[in-house]
Amino acid sequence: MTTQHVIATYAIETSFPLAQAAEVLAGEQSTGTFVRVERESDDLRARFAAQVESIQEVPLTGSSALPGFIGDPSARRRGILRLRFPLDNFGPSMPNLLAAVAGNLFELKELSAIKLLDLELPSAFADRYAGPGFGVEGTRRLVGRPDGAMIGTIIKPSIGLAPSELAEVVGELAEAGVDFIKDDELQGNGPSAPLAERVRAVMPVLHRYADRTGRMPMYAFNITDDIGMLEANHDLVVSAGGTCVMACINLVGLSGLEFLRRHAEVPIHGHRAMLGAVNRSDQVGIGFGAWQKLARLAGADHLHTNGISNKFYETDEEVLASIAAVRTPLLGLTPTVPVLSSGQWGGLAHATYRAVGSTDLLVLAGGGIHGHPDGAAAGVASMRDAWRSAASGESVDDALDRSEALRRARELFGPVRV
């Protein structure tokens, strides 16, 4: 028995006094029934129940109350609540941790909003879970890019390419000088393009390129599938000389990622597909800040954070907070590489670098590379020129003066973010 605790931070809303709503939430962690029962002593409650650590009232967001809320919607208050849970209740087990900090509490009708924002985890979790096996350094070593932003891309079109076409695309991208290529999350293991056929099509192209140049781009094969197939899918990639596997974390589950990690001999590219289902609402679900800690603990070497000026719903502020979160040290684990994607091109490098202050990033451009007016090589050059310029302290104007590839990219994707 230890005295370690987990502290969970929530945004809540209620028409009850905030302190009372907090007690309902904490109490759901103890007896979980609607009447006090035998053997439920004050001592038991004191030892096992969650305790309110702090509550701070904050302004309402303007979003409507969750369905099923009991109370006067116009009397709602919003608070940031920190609850303390005894680790001994669940032990350093991610699934059982979630039962406590993210279980039935989303169903409480006393709350008109309840979102888990952050988790403070004790060191026992790092004793049980190894975290990333490669991270920033291991990925840089495998792609042969000791410094500077790592530049990557996604196979486009996402689905529908025959193996021979896929081989062609990969050949072009390798020649273009890209560090990293990934399958789309839509490209799993369907009959139209089974993983085994993709591996057979892609790896010889990469090997021929590597034999000639001494460098092999990292290709993240999407091995997402039933748990019982993850090990075999991984082995298929590794035995063909592949250097990365991609898993859609929410689709195999955080537990599925952790299972894969115990077997993995190459970096795991962690895709966040389906995260919006729990992360987009400000009224319910699990925020990226909490989720990314679990994904890192479970072993994600690379983790999608989105990028600024993206085509999805997140603001630049939210994206930058996500990148910062992934870069924040966690329990001594190997650092995970933030993966910036969606609508990315060279013209976002300076603004991103100014905010992030590091090139320990994997920046993915799909259209920004495939769709460059002068082709993929110019697309990669425009990205690399822009990131090198940004990291050296140059202005955007200097970068545009020096790089024709960036100027040409601007014609199609502009304006440049300053």
Q: Which of residues 254-313 bind a copy of itself (CB under 8 A)?
A: 254-256, 258-259, 262, 273-278, 280-286, 311-313
Amino acid letter at 112?
A: S
Amino acid letter at 125?
A: F
Residues in contact with a copy of itself, shown as a per-residue x/- string from 355 to 394 under the rule CB under 8 A:
-----------xx--xx-----------------------
Residue with tokens 């303007």: 62
CA 119 to chain centre: 16
Tell which one of 72, 75, 95, 123 touches a copy of itself (CB under 8 A).
Answer: 95
The number of CA neighbours under 13 Å toward the Cβ of 26 is 25
Residues 108-167 that bind a copy of itself (CB under 8 A): 108-109, 116, 154, 156-161, 165
d(CA 382, CA 385): 5
Tell which one of 3, 37, 146, 212 touches a copy of itself (CB under 8 A).
Answer: 37
Residues in contact with a copy of itself, shown as a per-residue x/- string from 44 to 83 under the rule CB under 8 A:
x--xx-------------xxx-xxxx--------------
Closest contact distance (angstroms) between CB of 162 and a copy of itself is 10
Tell which one of 13, 118, 225, 301 touches a copy of itself (CB under 8 A).
Answer: 225
Size of the site for a copy of itself (CB under 8 A): 103
Directed axis angle between helix 249-261 and helix 288-297, to 10°? 30
Letter string b/e over residues 398-407, b meaning 16 or more CB atoms within 10 A of that residue's CB = ebbeebebbb
Q: Is 40 in the site for a copy of itself (CB under 8 A)?
A: yes
- The full DSSP string for 202-264 is HHHHHHHHHHHHS---EEEEE--S-HHHHHHHHHHHHHTT--EEEEEHHHHHHHHHHHHHTT-
Closest contact distance (angstroms) between CB of 356 and a copy of itself is 21
Cβ-based neighbour number of residue 56 at 10 Å: 10
Q: Choose between 85 and 142: whose C-beta lies nearer to a copy of itself.
A: 85
Closest contact distance (angstroms) between CB of 77 and a copy of itself is 17
Q: Choose between 91 and 357: whose C-beta lies nearer to a copy of itself.
A: 91
Tell which one of 29, 292, 382, 403 touches a copy of itself (CB under 8 A).
Answer: 29
Cβ-based neighbour number of residue 331 at 10 Å: 16
Q: Choose between 255 and 334: whose C-beta lies nearer to a copy of itself.
A: 255
d(CA 83, CA 125): 18
d(CA 231, CA 225): 10
